[in-house]
Structure 1
Amino acid sequence: MEADIRIAADAAIAEMAQLLASCNQQQANQVPFTGSWTAAQVTEHMRMSISGCVELLQGGTKPTTQRAPDEKVKDLAVFLDMDLKMQSPDFVRPEEKEYDKDALAKEMERLRREFNGALGGKDLTETLTGFDFPFLGQMTRLELVHFVAYHTQRHNNQLRRIIGRLKGVEA
């Protein structure tokens, strides 16, 4: 199970970089429909999120003794409900500006490697103490890997819709 979710997180981050790279600079920064972020903004949101997760993985931990280390995974599955509309917390809300899509795609690839490296051979059952997630509190490394996988898969779905709209091919 741990290996599967690590593979899923890695694949999702790699796919995000590939999706952004599949559009041109103008498309990456074009709003596809009212109320939507651009493809670059979606990727920037994930860049900020994954970067924060890497920092969290490199921070303090404590043994998880009061609950199952995967207890919050079922709560994280909400990210896979594509019909559910969510609002991003301000601290990971992307600016409204033009982004360099090539640099952003490369940064996602770098973060993918850094995320995998931060997991290293670490015990995934330990609780990360550096951040309390909204509505969830502190999570274990295992739960964080699920968060990254599910959150990235959610936004890859969003990117496919945005890019499909911009290219005239509904995803």
Structure 2
Amino acid sequence: MEKAQLSQDISNVFDEVIDILNAIPQDLFNKVPFEDSWTIGQVAEHIAICSRGIPDSHVKEAERPYDENEEALKSIFLDMNQKAKADPAVTPHLPPHQKENLVEKIKANKILLANTIKDKELLQLCLDMEFPFMGYLTRYEWLRFVQVHTQRHLNQIKNIQAHLLN
């Protein structure tokens, strides 16, 4: 497993999220683009909630390949035609949202995730929480989830932004 590649992939998607959020005017940040859509601020809050670490206070050695669920995670979260309702625990608040506050939270999460990659054994199975329909994930898989989940919502932000600017 290549920690450097995982670290780079996470860094890249977080940098892109931070850059796009910084470029969006505050007046568009809390604007509802269309019916049944979150605002950009809500998407940013959701990213901040979902990327503030992984459930790894209790771990054990995995008895399967450390990346067994990687492709499934990618296919689920990078397919923008698949829709799912967010769990209430990670559902963002109603607007308004402060852009600077959320950008700072996302920057802090990026550092936290980079430190997890650098300092922890990524092959271990995380026992604090099961992933829906997949069971327990390794630290590596949780980190890939954060990456592809963040990429999905980056795509959503771009779509909302395009809609608001038209």
TM-score tier by shorter-chain length is over 0.9
Q: What residue is the counterpart of 2:72 in the other structure? A: 75
**How does the TM-score come out when normalised to structure 1?**
0.90
Q: What residue is the counterpart of 2:83 in the other structure? A: 85
The aligned amino acid for 1:98 is: P
Q: What residue is the counterpart of 1:31 in the other structure? A: 32
2:153 & 2:112 partners in 1: Cα distance?
Answer: 20
User: Percent sequence identity over matched residues?
Assistant: 30
Q: Does 1:122 align with 2:117?
A: no
1:104 to 94, 102, 105: 102
Task: Report if aligned partners of 1:69, 1:143 keep a CA contact under 8 Å in 2.
Answer: yes
2:118 & 2:79 partners in 1: Cα distance?
Answer: 30
1:79 & 1:10 partners in 2: Cα distance?
Answer: 18
Q: What residue is the counterpart of 2:6 in the other structure? A: 5
| SS in structure 2 at match of 1:125 | coil
1:88 & 1:18 partners in 2: Cα distance?
Answer: 24
Offset at residue 2 of structure 1 (A): 3.8
**How does the TM-score come out when normalised to structure 2?**
0.92
Q: What residue is the counterpart of 1:138 in the other structure? A: 136
Aligned length: 164
**Which structure 1 segments of 5+ residues have no match?**
none
**Which structure 2 segments of 5+ residues have no match?**
none
Task: Report if aligned partners of 1:31, 1:38 keep a CA contact under 8 Å in 2.
Answer: yes
Offset at residue 55 of structure 1 (A): 4.8
Q: What residue is the counterpart of 1:159 in the other structure? A: 157
1:88 & 1:3 partners in 2: Cα distance?
Answer: 30
CA offsets 1:40-73 (integer angstroms, 9 cap, x no match)? 100101111111xx1524x1211112x1111111
CA offsets 1:94-152 (integer angstroms, 9 cap, x no match)? 01120101111121111111111122232211011111112222110111111011101
| SS in structure 1 at match of 2:67 | coil
Q: CA RMSD in A?
A: 1.4
1:122 & 1:114 partners in 2: Cα distance?
Answer: 12
Offset at residue 25 of structure 1 (A): 1.4
